[in-house]
A and B are shown apart, each in its own frame.
Chain A
Amino acid sequence: MGGNNSWKSFGANSQDDTNLRRALNPHHTEDSTGSSNCMERNNIPGAEASQKEMEMPRSMNFQLYPLLSLPHRPRVGSKFSPTPSTSLLPCLTAVCRISSDVHTSIPLPLPRPPLPEAAYIHLPFCRRRCHYCDFPIVALGSSSHRLDDDPRISTYIRFLLHEISAAKAPSSLHPPIRTVYFGGGTPSLVPPRLVRSVLEAIRAKFGELAADAEVSMEMDPGTFDARRLDEMVGVVGVNRVSLGVQAFQEELLQACGRAHGRGEVDEAIELVAGCRGIESWSLDLISSLPHLTEEMWEESLRLAVSARPQHVSIYDLQVEQGTKFAKLYTPGEFPLPTESQSAYFYKMASEKLSKAGYEHYEISSYCKPGHECQHNQTYWQNRPFYGFGLGSASFINGVRFSRPRRLKEYEQYVKKLEMKTTAEEDDDVAIVDAKETAMDMVMLSMRTARGLDLKWFESFFGEAMKLSLCRAWRPYIDSGHIVAMDEEKRVVATCDFELEMAGGGQRRRWEVAFLRLSDPEGFLMSNELIAISFGVLSP
């Protein structure tokens, strides 16, 4: 059976075996009882389901979904204890359809994918909707000053708490949550005591957070003062802030409908940068806003660097359907920058921030060494995560699920969730499509500076698939859009790459270990390049 074979291939040597165990349960320690034990642990959540999965017809559908398990980079100056950096191996699971004609029983050891160690919590409240925004938000209006007692917020939080407590996860054996991300909306609008209650619910459900857990919150200038920030840090436990500056120019802030001005921006930066409990903060900007000039962009980048954040996110404006911008503007046409202008802005950012000591570690993310956003890394490494709240997405047991985006429907969803008994919940064994998994893996990894680990890719999809992928990308290695690297991340010359591809069938040592998009040209063309790989993965 496919599941068995794949299983064996990963346990081929003891090092791999250890890695696998580690991947299955990153909190496994070397003196723990070994793989069978860890499997048991991982099987517990769906005990009944596992029983069913034991009795499967021959025709069932085995599919792999690899989950990247990358080393957590030790953070500079944090109490973070680094896990061994060798655990690059993916986890493996077989998700199968339980068909009605169960005649043959094939006992199979089916490891479950690891349980999520990341939780996203959506706090949808905003004063008003920005002109570019298509997120699930709730606009409260700017008139009410006493937001802390707004019943809309407290009602929502109540549902959120119910949702968390209705989640199926055994609190006693759950690995500690390592990242919590409060996204929005504008989470900083929610009173700290309410945010704290949400975090309490998380603890009640999944146990105490990891000692070095990253707790991020998106905050907007003008929505908090020193006291509130202190509360968020001291009372709630937020240790990372993502500050939605978006622009440093009054006219741009106005044009995109932000509820704050330049004054609030400077004030907020001062507060966040000077806050003791914040180990790492991100300054978020939007590039290619309408009427943006080269001078403005240069100014924004300069001011961003001088604010000395550990992290900078630069989101290229996407004109999304249904937004005010979509009604007003056409991409590439005035007052939006032309395609080549906005490409130039992207290159400027990459250049200026790199010069200032930031690593361009993902298409729109820059950080000082060791300050990657751990929570986002979960997404980009295809690891599982919980999602709670309006419109939020989760990725559990290989299944991606998005909650309703409308408040009423979300509330219904939570009510239903609470009525479900534990037995019912286990029915939702989903089919994970191998092609989709491969596409997710390639798409997500190629958007990061680390790129695609070819050995790892080959271990799931075979050498032939790896070679086809390389062949499809071959012209872009020539053109400099894709960079081939060896194990040590040294660039491999194009001609060597060619040789290796030609000798792919023979027993040759494959020196190329990683492929990544070049910065900035490859990143700028990421859609094209990834779409080309999709043609190979899912012809």
Chain B
Amino acid sequence: MGALYGAARAARSRLRPFLSESRAIVPILHKIGGERSFCSHSRQNSREGAVDLGQFPPERIRNFSIIAHVDHGKSTLADRLLELTGTIKKGHGQPQYLDKLQVERERGITVKAQTATMFYRYGIKEDDAMENLSNYLLNLIDTPGHVDFSYEVSRSLAACQGVLLVVDAAQGVQAQTVANFYLAFESNLTIIPVINKIDQPTADPVRVKAQIKSLFDLDPADALLTSAKTGQGLEHVLPAVIDRIPSPPGKCDSPLRMLLLDSYYDEYKGVICHVAVVDGALRKGDKIASSATDHVYEVLDVGIMHPELTPTGVLFTGQVGYVISGMRSTKEARVGDTLYQAKSTVVPLPGFKPAKHMVFSGLYPADGSDFDALNHAIDRLTCNDAGVSVSKETSTALGMGFRYGLSVPQEYGAKVISTVPTVPYMFEYADGSKVQVQNPAALTSNPGKRVTACYEPSVIATIIFPSEYVGPVITLCSERRGEPLEYSFIDCQRVLMKYRLPLREIVVDFYNELKSITSGYASFDYEDAEYQQSDLVKLDILLNGQPVDAMATIVHNLKAQRVGRELVEKLKKFIDRQMFEITIQAAIGSKVIARETISPLRKNVLAKCYGGDVTRKRKLLEKQKEGKKRMKRVGSVDIPQEAFSELLKVSKD
């Protein structure tokens, strides 16, 4: 899982709005912008108005995204397009972007969609080869590469009318390509297939074209052949965007309606919202209201991401840009919210359904006294992403901590103990009551009433891999309680399989396992599916009869025995002998299904203690004490911190 997130982050890192180093860009703006109207009001915003957005009616605007499987060249293509339009300087991009990523990571910003505005001069051929060159405003709206962020992807796509579907000419269609295609397809977007990396010796565009035809029913003749690396074929990309993707559909003369795409917190400027103006226009000084909160804000600054924040003082219909409006926290900026002129009345835009976090982990400081530090770090994180779900919780074993939705922030590293990731389960009882459980410890082991049904979230997984691995993949999926849905050849060598899998089964170690059994050739993606009924039990781990809340898990009944045995054996290895005998048990309710004992220490004494020995003895015992400090204590049993992380490794069910 970690690998997935990591890859996704790395892949989509290069298209963020850059807040500094913008001066180099301004001259280019002047050239492209043509007319210049200096209507700035303050020295601070002296560059405001450098771009006259008024010359870009919706028909001169195209909003699009690039979607691709990880490493198929999305970022490089984006960089080339930005260079081609003079938005960034050639060769200057990459290192800066990487640096930026590092900084942003340190600030705890999660994976988010970003946007860049480009200007492009292009002539649409009219009747008699009469070329009429016009300026176009193109908004490249970035999407996270992986469908773990499918919510983010669809959020980005909501502001687009079309996408570039990038496929590696050698690797062909991969799982994420499929998932991304469907997201775009379901949003009724124009899809431009781009077969990239055609300069590679193993490139096989013909085969990829065939895959595009068979899988997506797209006309292979429409595919653009490019090499973002060598620049080959790039000249056709933006013309295709302009020719094929429709312009944004909004009404210029209607009252302002804009969609809040995203927000983040900047230390100096406060909350910065990314918006797509659907109808009407937005000007600096306007009073805008939020349909979600009814709060009214004054527009302090408005502009485009070029790619740095570039004030324009105005955004017109169909345009995408940023707004700074004095919001204090990103919590006020509800993604998917409709913003409108304060005095007008509008019908809110459909918006998005809120992000639903499906994977939860307990997060605890390894040293209890570090709770404040962790709290602070998590605060910063939530400050930058209103979508992150975090709630405080207390574990008897681990003290104060958090229940954290989505991915575990790796940034806090070794100082954090994270519990086995879990998913929200539903339990129905005989008395008709229903409980949703995000933390297994919260589920009563002996509720005193019969469980009539349990449900767990499932996913539809798409796996594409060379056909020789069919056997192991099927074994893996059925071990993970998968239900086969689809099995097809996408060409003569590669197989696409769809499985319905319990989400719980893929959150720990599934992708790693899949990679290892397919020698790294499988690609995997999934989309959330509905809850399905399942035979689930809560598995408690008891030390000397006392349950360790942080080790409780919910597992399938049929797997309980095996998982229980593994957990108990693992713990036996990691818990040192102590003064009492320790019994380690795995139990379902009051039924013990696995048991191990650790025999007690018999003797720990230093015999002689003469005068010269006092300091030496004290130091020795102090060392012994320090060893105890790294333990978490449950009842009278000291559990080393490593035991918790070891449990993570074993519980792939």
Contact = CB atoms under 8 A, between A and B. Distances in A.
Interface string B615-629: 101101110110011
B95 interface: no
A534 B625 contact: yes
A534 B628 CA distance: 10
Contact of B612 (A376, A392, A535): A392
Given A343-B602, A392-B612, A525-B601, A315 B607 contact: yes
A339 interface: yes
B603 A339 contact: yes
A198 to B, nearest CB: 17
A527 B621 contact: yes
Interface stretch (A139-147, A157-165, A435-443, A501-509): A435-443
B216 to A, nearest CB: 63
B628 to A, nearest CB: 6
B471 to A, nearest CB: 48
A528 B612 contact: no
A528 B579 contact: yes
Interface string B104-123: 00000000000000000000
A379 B604 contact: no
Interface string A515-539: 0000000011111111110110010
Interface in B599-642: 601-615, 617-618, 620-622, 624-625, 628-629, 635-636
Contacts of A395: 611, 614
A377 to B, nearest CB: 11
A525 B618 contact: no
A402 B579 contact: no
Band of interface residues on A: 35 or more
Interface string A417-457: 00000000000000000001001100110010000000000
A412 interface: no
Given A316-B607, A339-B603, A364-B607, A439 B622 contact: yes
Contact of B624 (A394, A402, A476, A528): A528
B614 A440 contact: yes
Pick the most buried of A316, A318, A443, A447: most chain B CB atoms within 10 A of its CB: A443
B621 A443 contact: yes
A185 interface: no
A182 interface: no
Given A439-B622, A532-B628, A534-B625, A525 B607 contact: no
Contacts of B574: none
B575 to A, nearest CB: 15
Contact of A363 (B602, B609, B620, B624): B609
Contacts of B612: 120, 387, 391-393, 402
Nearest to A481: B579
Interface in B227-279: none
Contacts of B624: 527-528, 531, 534
A340 B614 CA distance: 26
A525 B622 contact: no
B579 A476 contact: yes
B38 interface: no
A535 B602 CA distance: 22
Contacts of A481: 579
Contacts of A90: none
Contacts of B615: 393, 400, 402
B185 interface: no
A384 B151 CA distance: 73
B609 A525 contact: no
Interface in A329-380: 339-340, 342-343, 346, 362-364, 376, 378-380
A479 B607 contact: no
B625 A479 contact: no
B130 to A, nearest CB: 84
B487 interface: no
Nearest to B603: A343
Contacts of B621: 439, 443, 527, 530-531, 534
A524 B625 contact: no
A176 interface: no
A124 interface: no
A481 B601 CA distance: 13
B606 A318 contact: yes
Contacts of B605: 316, 346, 363, 523-527
A71 interface: no
B332 to A, nearest CB: 42
Interface string A194-226: 000000000000000000000000000000000
Contact of B629 (A400, A443, A535): A535
A183 interface: yes
A255 B624 CA distance: 31
B607 A524 contact: no
B580 interface: yes
Pick the most buried of B609, B611, B620: most chain A CB atoms within 10 A of its CB: B611
Nearest to B627: A531
A534 B607 CA distance: 19
Interface string B567-580: 00000000000111
Contact of A318 (B604, B607, B635): B607
Pick the most buried of B608, B635, B636: most chain A CB atoms within 10 A of its CB: B608
Interface in A278-327: 314-318
A479 B618 contact: no
A346 to B, nearest CB: 7
A183 B610 contact: yes
A380 B617 CA distance: 12
Contacts of B610: 183, 376, 379
Given A439-B622, A476-B579, A534-B625, A524 B606 contact: no
Nearest to A479: B580
A525 B578 CA distance: 10
Given A528-B624, A531-B625, A443 B617 contact: yes
A439 B626 CA distance: 14
A346 B614 contact: no
Given A528-B579, A530-B621, A538-B625, A315 B602 contact: no
Interface string B286-303: 000000000000000000
B622 A315 contact: no
A318 to B, nearest CB: 6
Given A343-B602, A363-B605, A528-B604, A479 B579 contact: yes
A475 interface: yes
Nearest to B629: A535
A125 interface: no
B603 A525 contact: yes
A410 interface: no
A526 B604 contact: yes
Contacts of B620: 527
Nearest to B635: A475
A326 B613 CA distance: 19
A142 to B, nearest CB: 25
Nearest to A364: B607
A514 interface: no
A332 B507 CA distance: 44
Contacts of A392: 611-612
Interface string B588-603: 0000000000000111
Interface of A: 120, 183, 314-318, 339-340, 342-343, 346, 362-364, 376, 378-380, 385, 387, 391-395, 400, 402, 436, 439-440, 443-444, 447, 475-476, 479, 481, 523-532, 534-535, 538
14 contacts: A316-B605, A339-B601, A340-B603, A343-B603, A376-B610, A379-B610, A385-B611, A393-B615, A402-B615, A524-B603, A528-B624, A531-B622, A532-B628, A538-B625
Given A314-B607, A393-B612, 20 more contacts: A315-B607, A339-B603, A363-B609, A364-B609, A379-B614, A391-B612, A443-B614, A443-B618, A444-B609, A444-B614, A476-B579, A525-B579, A525-B601, A527-B620, A527-B621, A528-B601, A529-B579, A531-B625, A538-B622, A538-B625
Q: Lowest 8 CB-CB distances: which A-B pairs, in order?
A: A393-B612, A531-B624, A343-B602, A316-B607, A343-B603, A534-B625, A527-B604, A340-B602
